[in-house]
Amino acid sequence: MKTMIMTTWQEMLRRKMLLITLVLTALFLAVFWFIADTVALDSSGSGDLLGQFARRSAILSLGFFFGGFVVAFLAIFSSFSVISGEAEQGVLQSVLTRPIPRWKWYVGRWIGYVSLIGGYALVLFVSMVLITKFHAGMTRDYGDIWVSLLLFVGAVPALVSMSMLGSSLFSGIGNGVFMTMLYGAGWLGGMVEKVRGFLPVEPDVEATLSRTGALLSLLMPADGLNRRMQYILTQGAGETLPFLTGGSPPSQAFVVYAAIFTIFAFGVGLWLFKRKDF
Amino acid sequence: MTPDIPAIQTQALSKIYENGRGCRNITLRIGQGEAFGFLGPNGAGKSTFVKTLVGLVRASGGEGSLLGSPIGSLEARRHIGYLPELYRYPEWLSGEEVMKMHAGLLGLRGEEARKRIRAGLDEVGIGRRGSDRVKQYSKGMQQRLGLACALLGDPSILFLDEPSSAMDPVGRREVRELLLELKKRGKTLFLNSHLMEDVEAVCDRMALMLNGDMIRSGTVGEMLKVKVRWRFKVGGFSPVLLDWLREASGLPVSAEQTEHAEEMSWEAPTWLEAELEHEEQAGLLNMLIVEQGMTLYESSMHQEKLEDWFLEAVSGRDQRGEQR
């Protein structure tokens, strides 16, 4: 299993996926630093503490709006062809005839992706929290930060598990499209909920929008976890930018659902992989 | 390892895909140290059968074992080295790193792994390019790397699916020599190949697959029936002499058919043919031809090649690769 974990890391480093992401992330963080510095300034000197907190929260939400996308696409595009792509190329055939159980290959690859992308998500999270702390004066208690971190990083195993499951079923390109659409559906669910939160609509329309948004979020809970994380980190104060944090945040039950979703996707993917003909 | 345990044994082993293709009811017994050739046109089911043996696909029926362990089991996979037909190695790795990854999967570590990697790359002739990335390798070099990987664990049984198809003539010759060397070392070889000369030079026994069925099997000699055909180029031949020649020699001599019988004239040279058992019979025919005043321009022997046998065996059957 160690061999497969190392191979996965080597793959991501050698194919420059991580390098490109890190360079672009550095650029983003520089811009984010500037925005945090500028927007958080209280130029009027009114001393409106609540207003300041709301502005700072909105900056943080803006950062994680971007961060959620980057982590999701890194997780999807690094793992979407791990099984079907390698089988199509003939890489897997020589590996799977070695005396290792198939589950070790699968788990090794999964750990490889989750650890590296999870590590990236951790760095991104810490960077954004520190930037907003030192340049926008946004402080949160450590408990909230820890829970938020877990929720932010928690999207990675959900995405990788689903991506590897899809890769057992579909061709490389097919799974790339499938995963992008699935993530898009979850993201759309969040947007529907945000729209519901700030549009003046009839109660029955509001209920329909809420149900639709919730169902779409269940298809892929990664974006829902991100919204929950932003809510905890900002205590809902980021609602000054409704497209970022409007509507009701996903509940605690949703987090439990996301955990079950991840375990289920991982288990079904592993089961399919063990039975697959190559 | 008990020598009387067969290296490869299958009993009615089948793998039928959803589209009805695959291989059916293959029963084989290949002894340890034997070299076995598996022939058949594209789509005949050869690769499916090999994939079933090495555990890449699950059998639909029947059973099989490698050195007594059920096919697909970890124990069976400990005995094998496999070179797939269509494969590539991760191009972001170097040849040595590919080997290192396979060494890790085989449980080889440290100095032992390094020694085997170095020896393996040298053995297949790419030792100097070991540190280059795979994307810089030609197809032939990738095939050599594949062979090195297959040999890395010092396996008792080697499954080689078209081991030299992408190589130049020099490379093919080197691979053939390597296979003969491995055979000398007592390895069991299972060779899937379209290159008949490889099978003919290396294998003790062979089988022919067609449309998923194994239609013939036996030793290479049995398959070729050691037929020897003699051809004589003669001048001054007349068709009336043919009957006399048959009568005088008691041998099945025939004249090569031409499109126009009138072309078989006194002046034009004609080819005579006969399947003979030994050289003395050819000597007798030479003598009789000359005695009758014909001019003998050439007398030559043609032994049937595996390729001729293969083409004859599959000719007149269903369209290549199509299900009956």
pLDDT at B258: 58
Q: Which residues pair with B23 in a beta bridge?
A: B15
pLDDT at A42: 61
CATH code assigned at B85: 3.40.50.300
Q: What is the 3-state secondary structure (H, E, C) of B288-318?
A: HHHHCCCEEEEEEEEECCHHHHHHHHHCCCC
Same domain, B214 and B172: yes
To the nearest whole percent, how much of chain B has pLDDT over 70? 91
Banded model confidence at residue B302, pLDDT cuts 50, 70, 90: confident
Banded model confidence at residue B322, pLDDT cuts 50, 70, 90: very low
Same domain, B171 and B33: yes
Return the residue matching tokens 């390597």: B178
Q: Is residue B20 part of a domain?
A: yes
Same domain, B64 and B131: yes
Q: Kindly report the average pLDDT of chain B as a whole number.
A: 85
Q: Is residue B158 part of a domain?
A: yes
pLDDT at A120: 95
Same domain, B188 and B294: no
pLDDT at B88: 80
Taking contacts as CB-CB distances below 8 angstroms, the residues of chain B near A3 are 101, 104-105
Same domain, B178 and B288: no
Which amino acid is located at A120 in the chain?
A: Y
Q: Which of B15, B51, B77, B105 to mutate to test the interface with A (most CBs of A within 10 A)?
A: B105
**Do the chains contact at A10 and B102, CB–CB below 8 Å?**
no
Taking contacts as CB-CB distances below 8 angstroms, the residues of chain A near B95 are none
Q: Is residue B186 part of a domain?
A: yes
B30-50: pLDDT as tens digits: 999 999 999 888 888 899 999
| CB nearest to A91's CB, from B82, B90, B106 | B90
**Do the chains contact at A7 and B51, CB–CB below 8 Å?**
no
Banded model confidence at residue B317, pLDDT cuts 50, 70, 90: low
Structure-block tokens of residue B238 = 């007349």
Q: How far apart are CA B294 and CA A253, in angstroms?
A: 103
CATH code assigned at B273: 3.30.70.260
The residue of chain B nearest to residue A3, with distances taken between CA atoms, is B104
Q: Which of B101, B144, B154 to mutate to test the interface with A (most CBs of A within 10 A)?
A: B101
* Count of Cβ atoms closer than 10 Å to residue A40 Cβ: 17
Whole-model pTM over 0.90: no
Query: Cα dist. A22→A116, A117, A204, B107, B110 in Å?
Result: 12, 11, 45, 34, 33
pLDDT at A259: 97
Q: How far is B103 from chain A (nearest CA, A)?
A: 9
Q: How far is A96 from chain B (nearest CA, A)?
A: 7
Banded model confidence at residue B158, pLDDT cuts 50, 70, 90: very high
Same domain, B186 and B84: yes
Q: Does residue B138 or residue B99 have the better pLDDT? A: B99
Burial class (CB in 10 A: 0-12, 13-18, 19+), A166: buried
Same domain, B165 and B242: no
Q: Is residue B266 part of a domain?
A: yes
Taking contacts as CB-CB distances below 8 angstroms, the residues of chain A near B102 are 94-95, 98
ipTM over 0.85: no
pLDDT at A237: 60
Q: Is residue B308 part of a domain?
A: no
| CB nearest to A96's CB, from B56, B89, B106 | B56
Q: Is residue B155 part of a domain?
A: yes
Same domain, B236 and B294: yes
**Do the chains contact at B102 and A6, CB–CB below 8 Å?**
no
Which amino acid is located at A114 in the chain?
A: V
Q: Is residue B314 part of a domain?
A: no
Residue B114 makes CB contacts below 8 A (sequence gap 6+) with: none
pLDDT at B1: 63
| CB nearest to A90's CB, from B78, B84, B150 | B84
Residue A44 makes CB contacts below 8 A (sequence gap 6+) with: none
Same domain, B182 and B38: yes
The residue of chain B nearest to residue A276, with distances taken between CA atoms, is B57
| CB nearest to B86's CB, from A10, A90, A277 | A90
Same domain, B196 and B288: no
Q: Among B81-90, B128-137, B232-241, B266-275, name the one with the lowest average pLDDT.
A: B266-275
How many separate domains does chain B show?
Answer: 2
Same domain, B60 and B137: yes
Q: Is the pLDDT of residue B136 over 80?
A: yes
**Do the chains contact at B92 and A278, CB–CB below 8 Å?**
no
Regions in chain A scoring below 70 on pLDDT: 40-49, 236-246
pLDDT at B323: 42
Domain residue ranges of chain A, discontinuous segments joined by +? 2-33+47-275
Burial class (CB in 10 A: 0-12, 13-18, 19+), A136: buried
B218-239: pLDDT as tens digits: 887 777 665 578 889 988 887 7
The residue of chain B nearest to residue A11, with distances taken between CA atoms, is B92
Task: List the domain range (segments joined by +) for residue B197.
Answer: 8-218
pLDDT at B27: 94
Q: Is the pLDDT of residue B261 over 60?
A: no
**Do the chains contact at A3 and B146, CB–CB below 8 Å?**
no
pLDDT at B319: 47
Same domain, B69 and B133: yes
Structure-block tokens of residue B60 = 């639909």
